Each structure stands twice: as C-alpha cells, then as structure tokens.
Amino acid sequence: MSTYKTIGFIGLGVMGEPICRNLVKKSGQRVLAFDLAPEPLARLRGEGAGIAASVADIVKQSDLLFLCLPSAKHVRSVFEGDGILKNIRAGQVVVDLGTSSVSQTRDFAKQLHAKDASWADAPIARTRQAAQDGTLSVMVGATPALYAAIEPLIRCFATDVTHCGDVGAGQVTKILNNMVLFETVNALSEAVAVAKRSGVDPKLLLDTLSKGSADSFALRNHGMKAIVPGVFPERAFSTEYALEDLSYALELAADAGLRIRGAELIGEVLREAIDAGSGGAYFPVIAKHIGKR
C-alpha cells in the first residue's frame, strides 16, 4: 500500500463514512476526506483523517482518490468544473465505489488516460453494517496491473474483491447484481402480500422459504428486516436511487439489443412507489404499495 502515500476520499454518506474510517484505521497511509456535510468530517477528523477544503484541494493532495457518491450525476459534478479532470496529474488514480453509468465510466477513464492518469470502477455491495465491519463485496473494473495495485487498499473495507475485467466491467457486474436484487425484492413483496391476505403469517412464510430453494440474501435482509416489520428508513438505499440504478441496466440491455421485460416491470413498480411519495424511503417500501397498483 506504500505506492499511494496520500489517499483522498470524497463522499461520506451512509456507506462512505464507514469505508473511509476503515481506510484511516487499516491502510497505514495519510487519508484526506471531503464532503459537503460537516458532521461526518468532524467525526473522521477526530479519528485521524485530514480534511480537504474542496474537490480541487483533495485532488491536488491525493495520490489515489476514492469516490463514494450516490449517482452518476454526483460523480460527474466532481469530475467536471474545478474538479478531477482539471486538477488531475500524471500517475494519479481515481477509484469510483458507487454504481454509475457504464458509458460515463468508460468516457471518464478515457479522458484520464489522455492525461496519463487512471480510472477504476469498484462498485460496492452489501449492507451498511458490512461497510462498518469492513466486509463489503467489491467488483472491480481495471487493467490487471492497476487492480493489483489498488486491491490491498480495497481490502481495508472489503472481504470479497472480484476483478471483473477492464474498466467498466465492475459497473456492468454491479448493475446486474442490483437488477436481480430489485426483481427479487419485488417477488418477496408480492409473496408477503399474498400470504397476509391468505391467512399465513409473513414472518413464518419467510422463515420457511429461507429453509428451501427460495432462500436468498434478499430474503434474509430485505425481506425479514424491512418488508415483514414494515421498516423503510430514509437515508438508506432509496427508491429513487434504485430506479436510477435500474436505468443503467436498461441502458446496457438496449445497447446489447435486448429487451428485459422483468426489469422494465420493476421499473414501473419503483416509479409508482416514487409517485406515491416513497421516493426517499428504503426501496423495499415497494411492498407497502402492493394492492394500490
């Protein structure tokens, strides 16, 4: 990890703050943080992180820069203007931990390559607790040499790190992961709704399904911890963000000349939940709207 003496980190939200904290604790390197919210900056300063004054400042000071931002739009906002592209220097590396458009990812990588800098996509999967525990799953798109260089840092906050291929391949893999997750959560929501109307306890239903072929990570987490108790907090992975991630999957399918009707349908379900006022709630909130469709 000595290749990168100063690590920058932009985006200290629900996932970003604990990831940055693990880098501070485990990397052995100087870690600089930046976010628009002062509270996580204050917490991380107290734990040993340095604080950058702006995007330009953190780019200028970092050898490797992690981004953990909510969407492709947010990534573009720090890339353009007085941001990454303007201030990047030869040899620097940017690693995007968020889920983002594949076409944008490859475009940004091409622009950095022209400046002898590098871009890697390394979208994260699993829960907020996994971010805190340092047990995330990360899907990386990068050249083999760059993957080998950044993997030790990623393992400060992840236990499963997969090299999926060249730049963009990590995003493809994560986007399809999310597409399958959204469709699975919808199936669980429908099963719970039917069970309630048919006189079967939803918790018993999912407990029983977890012992058979319908078992899944989604069932044990999104089903048992959100859908059954009806807990859909704000500032978790929202319905609006889910719809945006799904749009990347539909874009990929269109580029491949495929129509994926299951994904189209879950897009309609997510949109209906947003229109009903649940855009900011944790996306399994779609369960609350079954029967109103």
- pLDDT of residue 235 exceeding 90: no
Query: Is residue 2's pLDDT more than 70?
Result: no
- The model's confidence at residue 236, banded by pLDDT at 50, 70 and 90, is confident
174 assigned to active site: yes
Quick one: tokens of 213?
């072929």
What is the residue-averaged pLDDT of the chain? 96
Sequence-distant (6+) residues with CB within 8 A of 218 are 181, 184, 185, 188
Residue 3 binned pLDDT confidence (cut-offs 50, 70, 90): confident
| pLDDT attached to residue 292 | 73
pLDDT of residue 201: 98
Per-residue model confidence as pLDDT tens digits over 248-269: 999 999 999 999 999 999 999 9
Listed range (1-10, 24-33, 265-274, 278-287) with the worst mean pLDDT: 1-10
Residue 190 Cα distances to 187, 202, 219, 239, angstroms: 5, 11, 12, 17
> Which of the residues 5, 110, 115, 174 is marked catalytic?
174
pLDDT in tens, 76-135: 999 999 999 999 999 999 999 999 999 999 999 999 999 999 999 999 999 899 999 999
Confidence band of 293 (pLDDT split at 50, 70, 90): low
Q: Which residue has the higher pLDDT, 3 or 55?
A: 55
- What mean pLDDT comes out for the span 140-167? 98
**b/e map 96-125, b = 16+ CB within 10 Å:** bbbbbbbebbbebbeebeeeebbbbbbbbb
Report pLDDT digits (tens) over 37-64: 999 999 999 999 999 999 999 999 999 9
Beta pairing, strands 124-125 & 136-141? antiparallel
